[in-house]
């Protein structure tokens, strides 16, 4: 089985051809599915699932965490897929109101779950480059970040937060 963080990207992309198939079905058999089924395959499916997948991978990568899907990550990804599928089912006219509520709840759970997993305060930068000098970073009790070793002669005209990693890793 492929890595779940890669698999979710493929699942999100899969919603594109599914949307085209649903659109074709809606044109050929309008009494079977509404065109909104295809629209929601593209929007909730492809755009929504892919957005969550890319945000997840980028957040892991930029915080220096391993690119592996923990159970909370897998849970929010499954919720986004379920939300898209429930929204598509409404196009078929099957249990429309309950499916809309399930879809909205799953969508909210997925993106609120993402926000709960990665608040900005939990993404500490690891290295700070100021005028070419590397400083280690520590978090102050106030919640902001400061360089642990600062050269007294060093001015701070340009500071760049750099990606965390091992020496030699590309930022």
**pLDDT tens, residue by residue, 41-72:** 999 999 999 999 999 988 888 777 788 888 99
pTM of the model: 0.70
Cα–Cα distance list, 20 to 26, 114, 127 (Å): 10, 29, 46
Alpha-carbon gap, residue 29 to 92, rounded angstroms: 11
For the segment 89-112, what is each residue's pLDDT rounded down to a tens digit?
999 988 999 999 999 999 999 999
- Residue percentage of the chain with pLDDT more than 70: 68
CB contact set of 169 (below 8 Å; sequence gap of 6+): 163
Q: What is the pLDDT of residue 2?
A: 78
3-class DSSP string for 87-125: HHHHHCCCCHHHHHHHHHHHHHHHHHHHHHHCCHHHCCC
Report the distance separating Cα 134 and Cα 143, nearest Å.
Answer: 21
Write the CB contacts of 170 (distance below 8 Å, at least 6 apart in sequence). Answer: 163
Q: Domain map of the chain by residue range?
A: 4-120, 127-162
């Amino acid at each position: 089985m492929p890595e779940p963080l890669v698999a979710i990207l493929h699942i999100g992309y899969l919603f594109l051809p599914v949307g085209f198939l649903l659109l074709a079905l809606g044109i050929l058999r309008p009494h079977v599915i509404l065109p909104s089924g295809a629209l929601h395959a593209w929007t909730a499916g492809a755009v929504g699932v892919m957005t969550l997948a890319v945000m997840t991978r980028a957040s892991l990568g930029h915080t220096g965490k391993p690119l592996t899907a923990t159970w909370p990550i897998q849970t929010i990804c499954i919720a986004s897929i379920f939300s898209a599928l429930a929204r598509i089912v409404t196009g078929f006219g099957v249990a429309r109101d309950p499916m809309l509520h399930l879809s909205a709840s799953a969508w909210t759970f997925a993106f609120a779950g993402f926000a709960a997993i990665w608040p900005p305060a939990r993404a500490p930068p690891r290295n700070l480059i100021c005028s070419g000098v590397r400083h280690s970073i520590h978090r102050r009790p106030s919640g902001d970040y400061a360089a642990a070793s600062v050269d007294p002669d060093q001015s701070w005209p340009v500071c760049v937060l750099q990606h965390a990693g091992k020496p030699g890793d590309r930022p």
